[in-house]
Amino acid sequence: MRRKQAALPVGQLLIMGFEGAEMTAGLASLLQQIQPAGVILFARNIESPRQTFTLLRACQAQVHGPLFTCIDLEGGTVDRFRKILRPTPAAAEVYATHDRRVFQRHGRLIGDCCRALGLNTDFAPVVDLAFPASLAVMNSRAVSADPRQAAAYAREFLRGLAAAKVLGAIKHFPGLGEANLDTHHELPRVEKSFAKLWQQDLAPYRLLRRTAPMVLVGHAAYPAVTGDETPASLSKKWIGDVLRKKLGYRKLVVSDDLEMGGVLKAASIGEAAVGHIRAGGDLALVCHLEERVREAYCALVAESERSPAFTRRCRESLGRIEAFKKQSRELKPERVPPSEKKVAGLVERIEAFAEAVRKAAAKVEANP
């Protein structure tokens, strides 16, 4: 009798968010069933440094392999630690110092904060270009309209994260610099030719393709490139052809949150998760509702059972994720929760860094 082939561990294609600041029976059951590649925390999950550490240890206890324990922490407006530590300067404020040592200190400080609280992956830095079209949306998250300068900041920030044993991800591929709508709510259209995108928005990805552990793909549509309104996060043209083949990127590709309005206007959560993986992505990010996490998981299971082509595509990403995890020292968890002394030291460092950034930027402005 022919043995039935074991089901693919498609939970490893998901990074999931959840509600609440402590482990519950429902969350434990979901983690045990899905066995995700990682979890992501937001401000709603974070009440104190020790509580955050304990919550992540509890998540890891439900999952067999090492977890990506993730957060969005850029500084400025995107700072999940501002209430439990101190606000960290925004990327644009740090860039205003024009000092690459300060750029790297920014990454190291954020990385040390992440590491102390049990996090090993930061979905930062932004390499979107600071064009006027996106200023109202991106604000201080983007550092420069010059792709080489955006890449220079990002390279040093990533080095700082790596020194703290934290993985980084450059975003939002292929670029939101010309997008004037917020992808959290709408699907922006970027009306730009591939030639212009290649010279401008894609340049940081070309410069950092060997450096960035992950690339996070955004939800904007680029009709001049794809000929339709498909978000980049679901586009084989962008992920499979441009990012993988033309740019030669070999590490992990992760979607932006598939619960954002920018993608849900184009697909259901299940269709979006399948679409991202089918397009060449490795990790589908579902950040909020547990029922949507389950829906995405069930859609991946059903499609892998239905389609041999999709099964092959899943196996490719599962192999890449497994190899990446085995090679990543960052995924070895901290054993001891942060002490009060450790937390106080981090607070002092954040305050000193913010003051140093302010003084350095003022000096540059006074002596252009």
The verdict on whether 241 is a catalytic residue reads no
Return d(Cα 216, Cα 110) in angstroms, integer. 19
Return d(Cα 85, Cα 48) in angstroms, integer. 9
Q: Count CA atoms within 13 Å of residue 248 on its CB side.
A: 6
The verdict on whether 106 is a catalytic residue reads no
Question: Which residue among the candidates 99, 256, 257, 282 is catalytic per the annotation?
Answer: 256
Helix (H), strand (E), coil (C) string for the chain: CCCCCCCCCHHHHEEECCCCCCCCHHHHHHHHHHCCCEEEECHHHCCCHHHHHHHHHHHHHCCCCCCEEEECEEECCEECCCCCCCCCCCHHHHHCCCCHHHHHHHHHHHHHHHHHCCCCEECCCECCCCCHHHHHHHHHHCCCCCHHHHHHHHHHHHHHHHHCCCEEEEEEECCCCCCCCCCCCCCCECCCCHHHHHHCCCHHHHHHCCCCCEEEECCCECHHHHCCCCEHHHCHHHHHHHHHHHCCCCCEEEECCCCCHHHHCCCCHHHHHHHHHHCCCCEEEECCCHHHHHHHHHHHHHHHHHCHHHHHHHHHHHHHHHHHHHHCHHHCCCCCCCCHHHHHHHHHHHHHHHHHHHHHHHHHHHCC
Active site residues: 184, 256
